[in-house]
Amino acid sequence: MADDTIIEIRHDGSIKRRSAEDETHVEADGSIFKWTPHAESTMTGDGIEMARRTEDRIAAITHDGVVDRARKRQGD
């Protein structure tokens, strides 16, 4: 632990970093997952696909194209 941040390096090469503000996982295949109080982001290991989710929006870049739209909320 350093500066209230925990960094864990696992036997498969993946890395987890946790702090009070966010959490990031870098998987052995290079995929990245990040969580903050405001958003959740992912990227594939090859960098071809990326996505971000917030409370009110979803944005993604995939093999099929780009999507950026408002999320439906319960009751809408």
Predicted local confidence at residue 3, as pLDDT = 79
Q: Where are the domains of the chain?
A: 6-70
Report angle CA 34, 71, 37 to the nearest 5 degrees. Answer: 30
pTM of the model: 0.83
**Do residues 28 and 13 touch, judged by C-beta distance below 8 A?**
yes
Predicted local confidence at residue 8, as pLDDT = 96
**Do residues 10 and 2 touch, judged by C-beta distance below 8 A?**
no
pLDDT tens column, 10-57 = 999 999 999 999 999 999 999 999 999 999 999 999 999 999 999 999
